[in-house]
Amino acid sequence: MDNIAKDIERVLLSEEEIAARVAEISADITRDYGGKNPLLISVLRGSFIFMADLVRSLPIECTLDFMAVSSYGKKSATTGAVKITKDLDLDIEGRHVIIVEDILDSGLTLSFMMELMSAKRPASIRLCTLLDKPARRQKPIQADYVGFEVPDEFVVGYGLDYADKYRNLPYIGVLKPCIYCKE
């Protein structure tokens, strides 16, 4: 049997810890956006599980859209190049937008997306990221809602991948460095 858990050095955030924090973020968003029908935009693919859990715990009216950008390829280091591979389907002009991300790392992806979306004149725009890795920031960008601050290690699971693997792990774990040291 090929159990993907064998590639995990240690569990950083358990399913229970993530669920509890997602409920707290959802309560914050409910308080801030009740009656405003916010438009939540999930940045695919890493944030799909976070988005699914977050919106299922939101009791308020909201709208969803998805956007895909690629910046990583198979490498675990930021290349800096961000390409839109799937654009939004909805018009965001005049809407209260919340960008939902898996991890804010160098900040290159989100600062690019913020610029792009601001040009479309939303009523407001905020960032919600499950994980924040401030150690590697290259752009002065901060999220409005942050699940957890994480150390400068490569993490996978709960939507996050390495070379398109490990997204289906229900927890967030630190990948054994030997998995990507041969790059």
Q: Which residues are catalytic?
A: 105
Stretch that binds ligand XMP, among 24-32, 52-60, 85-93, 101-109 (CB under 6 A): 101-109
In the list ligand XMP, Mg ion, none, the entry touching 53 (Cβ below 5 to 8 angstroms by class) is: none
Closest CA to 154 of 76, 67, 90, 70: 76
How many residues would you count in the chain? 183
Contacts with Mg ion in 13-42 (CB under 5 A)?
none
Distance, in Å, from the CA atom of 30 to the CA atom of 18, rounded to the nearest integer, reads 18
Q: DSSP labels for 73-120?
A: TT-SS--S--EEEE--SS--TT-EEEEEEEEESSSHHHHHHHHHHHTT
Per-residue contact flags (x/-) with Mg ion for residues 122 to 161, judged by CB under 5 A: ----------------------------------------
Rule CB under 5 A: is residue 102 a binding residue for Mg ion?
yes
Rule CB under 6 A: is residue 41 a binding residue for ligand XMP?
no
Rule CB under 6 A: is residue 102 a binding residue for ligand XMP?
yes
Q: Which of 12, 96, 101, 127 binds ligand XMP (CB under 6 A)?
A: 101
What are the b/e assignments for 147-163, b being 16+ CB within 10 Å?
bbebeeebbbbbbbbbe
Tell me the HSE value of 168 on the side-chain side, using a 13 A CA sphere.
Answer: 5
Q: Which helix (H) or strand (E) holds 23?
A: helix 15-33
Contacts with ligand XMP in 131-160 (CB under 6 A)?
154-156, 160
| Minimal distance, residue 21 CB to ligand XMP, in Å | 17
Distance, in Å, from the CA atom of 31 to the CA atom of 157, rounded to the nearest integer, reads 29
Rule CB under 5 A: is residue 46 a binding residue for Mg ion?
yes
- Interacting residues toward Mg ion by CB under 5 A: 46, 102
Q: Can you give the binding site for ligand XMP, defined by CB under 6 A?
A: 46, 71-72, 78, 101-110, 154-156, 160-162
